[in-house]
Amino acid sequence: MLTGKNILVGITGAIAAYKVCELIRLFKKNNANVKVVVTPNALNFVTKTTLESLSQNPINIEQFDIKEYKPEHIALTDETDIFVIAPASANTIAKMTFGICDNLLTSTFCAYKKQVVIAPCMNTNMWENPAVQENIEILKKRGIKVVEPETGFLACGINGKGRLAEVETIYNKVKDCLVPEQILKGKKVVITAGGTKENIDAVRYIGNYSSGKMGIALADNAYKLGAEVILISTVDADKKYKVINVQTAQEMYEAVKQEFENAYTLIMAAAVSDYRVKNKSEQKIKKDGNSLIIELIENPDILQEMSKIKRDNQVVVGFCAESQNLLEFAKQKIAKKGCDFICANDISKKDIGFSSNDNELYIINKELDVYHIEKTDKQSAALKILENIYGKCK
């Protein structure tokens, strides 16, 4: 079930650390590759030799044990698909909340951009402490998945909440993150990606800076969720699902119109040119010392046109890239276009703008409710968008 998945297991200094040996064994049994990072105190409860034997990989302990050109905590973030911290002590949870990087585990967490799952374990009074509860809520809002502790007999000799969740419960949460529920099975989802190009002559065009990364990430994740995906893209993409390559806004409009008829959802992530050249030249235009005047005419508004013809059982999602007044303009756009959702992102921020690998978005529905996706990689953002649209946020 987890074949090809790379899982990073983090272990902190809590009495239940020994139980994580069974979790590692379960991951390995299901063909996952497991790497382990521990806090120094974790080794008071479980040995390095045991963890190396179970994971079949060296154990990462020291902050500056640099074996390659990359610092160890950066290498671990690049090489794994998910970070599971179990048990997560109150001390480590506090450090995670406030970005304290005083050991290899917390430094790795701070640099980690993919999904993180934590399974807290501590004394009942510690778990119920307002500071701990506030930290847990902050981490949840940041997208961290929390497998809450269970109630039972604790090592301190009392009955209460704080015992590490059952290993199978933690395993199932990780599995759900890596192998999402097929919520779109049997549904056709049409997604557009990239920036359209409008020819001026045989060699020049009007275009934009869109890389298509967000649209392709949405298509990848819709496919993982079981959808029949049709990607209509201006950039090449070698995928298992169907890809229709187009260049101009008119070509995209024709392809979308044809595929939307029997689609469940249309997601217009492409940056479509508002105008095209009225009289494009089939030959290269030569310089003659004079000004060149190009007359532009409006392209069809694909999002608005599809919103007009959509049936009650169809969902239309638009994107809104703005450099100012983001939410104000996005709310105006959803009212004007008539779509069901608008995903708005601020292109003035260089770390989440065009061509970046990360994104931060606001999803707005017809009732103008706003759901914020904090800065994350585009694959993770795409899954959060789909989960929000289909009401399956976990």
- Give the residue numbers marked as catalytic: 156
Q: What whole-number distance in Å separates Cα of residue 109 and Cα of residue 170?
A: 18
CA-based nearest residue to 200, from 267, 277, 297: 277
* Integer Cα distance of 360 and 341 in angstroms: 16
Question: In whole angstroms, how far apart are CA 330 and each of 143, 362, 372?
Answer: 23, 9, 13
CA distance 51 to 156: 25
266 contacts 222 by C-beta, under 8 angstroms: no
Cα distance from N-terminal residue to C-terminal residue, the chain: 20
Buried b or exposed e, range 216-249, using 16+ CB within 10 angstroms: bbbbbbbbbbbbbbbbbbbbebeeebebbebebb
| Amino acid letter, residue 76 | L
Token digits of residue 112: 């980690």
21's tokens: 């040996």
* Tokens 């061509």 -> residue: 355
**φ, ψ for residue 263, nearest 5 deg:** -90, 155
- Cα–Cα dist 122/165, whole Å: 11
Nearest one of 177, 6, 17 to 87, comparing CA atoms: 17
| CA angle (256 as vertex; 253, 258 as ends), nearest 5 | 110
34 strand-pairing partners: 7
| Beta partners for residue 189, in sequence order | 229, 265
Locate 319 and state its tokens. 């994107």
Angle between helices 90-98 and 104-111 (to 10 degrees): 40
Please say whether the beta carbons of 343 and 362 come within 8 A: yes
Question: CA angle 370-309-318, nearest 5°?
Answer: 30
Return the residue matching tokens 């968008």. 385
Alpha-carbon gap, residue 65 to 106, rounded angstroms? 15
What's 234's DSSP letter? S
